[in-house]
Structures are given as C-alpha cells and as structure tokens.
Amino acid sequence: MSKLLDKFKEVLKFVDDAFFPEQIKCIACNAELSFDTRYGVCQNCDIVRNIDFCKVCGSATNDLSPLCEICKVVDFEFDRAVSPLVYREQVVNIIRRFKFGSAKYMGKFLAQFVIDCFYEHDFEVDFVTFVPIHKLKLRERGFNQAKVVAEHFVQAVKLPLVDTLDKRIQNDDTAKLNRKQRYESVKGAMCVKENLCEYLKSKTVLLIDDVFTTGATANECSRLLKCAGVSEVFVLTVATGVGFTRSNFNNSFEISL
C-alpha cells in the first residue's frame, strides 16, 4: 500500500508541476479555458466515463453482469483490459481530432485519464509498450497516437517504455470492417521486434492504445508478446466501445480466437 501511495504522490507532483499554456482550448468543444485543468476539458463538456464495464475486456456494459456476452464465451490473449472513457459523443470527436487533426498536443491530456485509470486498478507491471502503426501511416499522420499517450503516461508513473512491436503490413481501414473481418485483418500484420525475447521473458506488460473496439488489435499484440515469452499482458486504452449485451449478441456472429 505504501508503494502505491508513494507512486500516487509522484503523479500528483507531476501534475502540479505540469506546464499549462495560456489560452489553451477545451479538447472537446474548442472553447477557451479560463482555468488550468489536468484533462483539458471545460466545465460545459460532459465526457462519458466508463463506470460500468466488463471485468475482462473493459467494454462499457448496461447491465449488472460482470462480463459482456463476448467474454462469456471467448478467451482473449490479454489478461485484462480497462479504459477510463466510453467511445461515444464528445469522446469520439476528441479521439478523431487527436488522430486525424494533427492535434498531437492532446496526448498529454488524454494520458491524464489513463494515469488515473492505471492507479484505480492497481496494476503491477514491469514495463509499458504501445500498439504500433505502419510506417506509411506514421508518415501520413506524423505520429503514433498510442506512443504519444504512452510517453506522457510513463513520465508520470515512472515505468520504462519499451518499443516491442512492428506493424509490417498496412491492413484495411478497420473502421469499415465488422468484428470477424477485424480479427482476420490483424493476423500476420504485426511482429515482435528482433532480439527482445530474452528481455521479454516472464515479464508483465502494460499495452497502451487509443481505443478498444472489438479487441482484435489488443488481442493480436498480446498473443505475439506472450509467444515471445511475456507472462501477462494488461491493456489500457483511452476509450472503449459498448460491449455486446444479450440483445445484440445473438444477432452477431461466432468468432474464435
């Protein structure tokens, strides 16, 4: 417990010492902020927090069951996934601006939500890594959004950041794919970087990304890391989608991992 409190004090100090530029605008509505805020969000914006969620994949749920319908029948490669925000309404606009609007600066604010979530769940990990993007996408966008969040995150929590994965194939735009297609599209698209197996052996890893939707990307990254010797993988994303409930699960399709 004392170790956790010490880490939390370090986070608070990091936040207190953080530099907030003048006339910074709300990352949700773009209105000017009249006060300093860790999250970069004005008082008029309602960010959907992930309060009720599946205890395995972290997807937002609307019922009292501890698991979403997918996690009742599917075993993921990762050990657990959590997210502080729900990918709805203003959160969708925030993530899109961050990724596609050249708003790299937003990463430090989104990292604050991730930091809080990390301490709320009391994860004990050896190092942090992030979901890779293909070099063509990196050239087009200018940055890897998952890496940007991870860099701000480790600065606060004082954990090593290790670049473990490569995206070697640029797959189709996953936003246009259904669940089954997403799982198929990530197979063979990534690999563990060379000469890391000895370092990864028996490690517990925190994998960071921007959004958890079907879990296809997080699942494949976790599978690769475990094949390379990692013992546990926890996934932490800025936002998550709404998990499958009984009403819409029956209209979905069977997937096997």
pLDDT of residue 208: 98
pLDDT of residue 172: 62
pLDDT of residue 2: 60
**Locate tokens 């940055």: which residue?**
143
pLDDT of residue 130: 98
List own/partner pairs for 34-39 with CB under 8 A and 24 or more apart: 38/109, 38/112, 39/109, 39/112, 39/113
pLDDT under 70 in the chain at which residues? 1-23, 172-177, 243-257
pLDDT of residue 257: 45
Contact between residue 71 and residue 63 where contact means Cβ atoms under 8 Å apart? no
Q: What is the pTM of this model?
A: 0.84
* Domains of the chain in sequence order: 48-245 (3.40.50)
